[in-house]
Structure 1
Amino acid sequence: MPRKKRLNFEESLKRLEEIVELLEKEDITLEDSLKYYKEGIELSSFCSKELEEAEKQVMILQKNTEGKFVKKTFDMQEENDEF
């Protein structure tokens, strides 16, 4: 059995869009619907993990109390708390 090519984030997102279109068709069989649904869940999980990992790696520059720029790990929760 040939091994599936691992998709990158952008390819996975595009495939998810294709799956949504396939699932929206009225003439799709239940068996195919379940197959596409399972693939979509796996791709969604992969994309979510990739986004979480990217968030951890994002660095932002902020001025410290002395007016100097410092690198700081991006914290989504901290950013949300400011708004």
Structure 2
Amino acid sequence: MIKFIFYGLVVYLIYKLVFEFVIPVGKASKQMREKLQQMQEQQRFQQEQARAQAQAQAKAEPVASSKPASSDKDYIEFEEIKP
């Protein structure tokens, strides 16, 4: 009779351990994995957008750089005025 109660208690404790600890931890780790994958996809998408934008700028830049280089005419001399 005591063995039956002991085995019943052990089975109950194993049941509680599995359904209150192991399964929730498994679900949480699955959610974290999914969230991590989602963040990686977003980062990959942003990198692709940035790369495409940089390529578009690189293609547009040679046209804009055909202007003559700035010279000393752009420099304005000034004197410091002391009160």
Tell me if both proteins adopt one fold, taking TM over 0.5 as the criterion.
Answer: no
In the superposition, the TM-score normalised over structure 1's length comes to 0.39
In the superposition, the TM-score normalised over structure 2's length comes to 0.39
Higher RCO (CA 8 Å, separation ≥ 6 residues) = 1
Structure 1 or 2: more strand by fraction: 1
Structure 1 or 2: more helix by fraction: 2
